[in-house]
Amino acid sequence: MFDSVKEVLNKDINPQEIKKFLAMEVEIKQLKELLETEIKLKEFLLQEVDVKHLIPVNGKTPVQQYNRRSDDENRTSATNSPLLPTYDLGLIKTLQKDHRELLFIYAGIMTNAESRKYKLVAEQLILFSERFTEYFHVADKGLYGYLKAYIKQKQPKRQKAFSTLSLEMKNLYLSVFYSLNQSPNIPFNENSYDGFINEFKYLGEQLSNRIEREEKVLFRMYEESHQAKDILSVAV
């Protein structure tokens, strides 16, 4: 049987001969005898097969083709590894300014609400909604999007903690969105006075706590990621 194999492998590729070889009958009895003992199986596997006689493809043996393909795949994998979003040197200052502005507008809303300046509060709520939406989109893309990619690639052990912080931000956005668009205490007037004050006091606490954690934790992580890249570039 192996003489037949070598004859086929030594010749140029001929579809008819390959079909003939593949159609050769192998008795079930021979296979059973072969598998009867571990020794016979080892003898079968260790029979001499000259690798040089393997059918060449494009001037290379299948083994060489496989090794070359593996090398190409490794190079492609390294080349196609996801790139980090661009680091924005001015992002932190922009978000800090947004934080101060949001807190300032919020403080004005509460001061005027307690003084029952209903019309002025309505105008400030619209302004707060616009500014908060703008801030959320900048932070979500520039800060959270960047850190999500960075942590996944460079610091996977921090993914769980970051995911928790990111979820908090999403929940805050939903709370603000609900309060500004679906709250039963808006429009703000004498009838909704108590409910509005209580609801927006709680919302203000959430906003202040969120801003504090963002600046102490996430801003630091963002800046450290850039410092780490600087160190690597110098080392290289």
Instruction: Report yes or no: 179 and 157 within 8 Å, Cβ to Cβ.
Output: no
Asked whether 21 and 4 are in contact (CB, 8 A), the reply is: yes
- What digits encode the pLDDT tens for the residues 65-79? 545 555 555 554 444
Window from 16-25, 116-125, 158-167 with minimum mean pLDDT: 16-25
List the structure tokens of 143: 């800060």
Predicted pLDDT at 90 = 96
Angle, helices 91-114/219-235, rounded to nearest 10 degrees = 170
Query: Is the pLDDT confidence value at 19 over 90?
Result: no
Average pLDDT score over the chain: 77
pLDDT band, residue 11 (cuts 50/70/90): low
Residue 40 CB contacts under 8 Å (≥ 6 apart), including other chains: 33, 34
CA pair distance 92, 73, nearest whole angstrom:
39
Q: What is the mean pLDDT of residues 181-192?
A: 95
Q: Report DSSP state, residue 221.
A: H
* Interacting residues of 175 by C-beta distance below 8 A, sequence separation 6+: 203, 206
- Cα dist from 15 to 2, 19, 55, 56, 92, whole Å: 19, 6, 13, 15, 68
Q: State pLDDT tens for residues 47-98.
A: 544 444 444 555 554 445 545 555 555 554 444 556 778 899 999 999 999 9
- List of domains in the chain: 2-79 (no CATH), 91-235 (1.20.120.520)
HSE of 236, CA atoms in CB hemisphere, 13 A: 6
- Average of per-residue pLDDT across 22-33: 52
Give the pLDDT score at 85: 81
Q: Which residue carries 């934080």 as its tokens?
A: 99
